[in-house]
Amino acid sequence: MGLFKKILLFFFIAIFLNACGGFKRSDVKDNPINDADKRKKNIEEGRGITLGKTFSKGNGSFNFATSNEMWRASLEILDFVPLATVDYSGGVIITDWYSDDLNSDETIKIIVNFLSNEIRADGLKIKLYKKKCNQNQICKTQLLSSNINNEIKLAILKKAAQIKAEDTKKRSKDSDYRIVPTQD
C-alpha cells in the first residue's frame, strides 16, 4: 500500500473516531426505557434520519381502499354482480360474466379502470362486454358502446360524492367533540 493511501486511510479513521465523541454516561431517569417513549424523545430533539422521497415511486400519495370514495362507491354500485378481479393497487375492478335471467344466452362483464383517486368523470373508465352463446356453446364477445357505460359511471360518481360528504360531515362532527387539554 502506498504512502498516500496509508495517510488517506489514517485520515478517514481519525475523522470517524472523532465523530463518535466518546462514551458519555447517562442517568436512567433522563432516558426513557420503552421504545415509544424513546421515539417520542428522539423526534422532539430532532434526532433520526429521513430519506424523504429517495425510494418513492410515482407521486408518493397512496390512498387505501377504505378511504378512497371512488373505490368504495364502485364496489357498492356493482354489488349485484359477482366480482372476478378486484385489484386496488392496479386500479381495476372486473366483474364475472353476469346475466339476470338464468335461461338467457347473453351475459355481460363490466370493467372499471380507475385513472385518478379524485371524484371526476375523467378519473373513471367503464367498459361493458356482451357475450352471446348459441346452443353448441359457441360464444361471441363484443365491446358494448351504449348508454349503460355512462349510467354506471354517473351512478359511481354520485355515490362517491355522497360518501365523501358523509365522511367530511363525520370528521367535522368528531373534531367538534375533541377535548383540548389546558395548561395550568
DSSP for 47-82? -S---TTTT--TT-----TTT-HHHHHHHHHTTTS-
List Cβ neighbours of 142 (8 Å cut-off, separation of 6 or more).
129, 130
**Whole-number pLDDT of residue 32:** 72
Cβ neighbours of 110 (radius 10 Å): 22
**Whole-number pLDDT of residue 88:** 84
What average pLDDT is seen over the chain?
79
Task: Kindly state the average pLDDT of the residues 29-57.
Answer: 64
For the chain, domain boundaries: 69-170
Q: What is the pLDDT of residues 84-116, one digit of tens each?
A: 999 888 889 999 999 888 778 889 999 999 988
Q: What is the pLDDT of residues 111-154, one digit of tens each?
A: 999 988 888 888 899 999 999 988 888 899 999 888 888 999 99
Helix, strand, or coil (residue 130): strand
